[in-house]
Amino acid sequence: NAGVTQTPKFQVLKTGQSMTLQCAQDMNHEYMSWYRQDPGMGLRLIHYSVGAGITDQGEVPNGYNVSRSTTEDFPLRLLSAAPSQTSVYFCASSAFGPQETQYFGPGTRLLVL
């Protein structure tokens, strides 16, 4: 099993550009989530999904969209990148929800100029 994979590893964007961060898992997990990690802030939940076709907002959802068309994939879209979105983004999954062990991807480091 590859576990949770994320692409790209690094990305530089200009303000106003859009992009999609990819996340995939091969563990047949129902629950998937996106976090951003900023220095001194820990991890903050952006969006999450409890299954295909179901998504919901987390703590810091503004400026981000998600969809979950399959169990395996949970892409995160930045609609119009802003410097405040410079961060490291982690995707995580678990069998059924946040009450269980979370399996994290390796992260995507994003710089918005």
Partner 1 sequence: SQQGEEDPQALSIQEGENATMNCSYKTSINNLQWYRQNSGRGLVHLILIRSNEREKHSGRLRVTLDTSKKSSSLLITASRAADTASYFCAAYGNNRLAFGKGNQVVVIP
Judged by DSSP in three states, 7 sits in strand
Measured over all CA atoms, what is the biggest interatomic distance in the chain, rounded to whole angstroms? 37
Rounded distance between C-alpha atoms, residue 59 and residue 69, angstroms? 22
Asked if 106 interacts with partner 1 (CB under 8 A), we say yes
Asked if 46 interacts with partner 1 (CB under 8 A), we say no
Asked if 64 interacts with partner 1 (CB under 8 A), we say no
Nearer to partner 1, 27 or 45 (CB): 45
Q: Look up residue 109 and give its two tokens.
A: 């480091």
Q: Look up residue 67 and give its two tokens.
A: 């969809």
Give the binding range for partner 1 (CB under 8 A) out of 11-19, 41-49, 63-71, 77-85.
41-49
Binding residues for partner 1 (CB under 8 A): 4, 35, 40-45, 59, 90, 92, 97-107
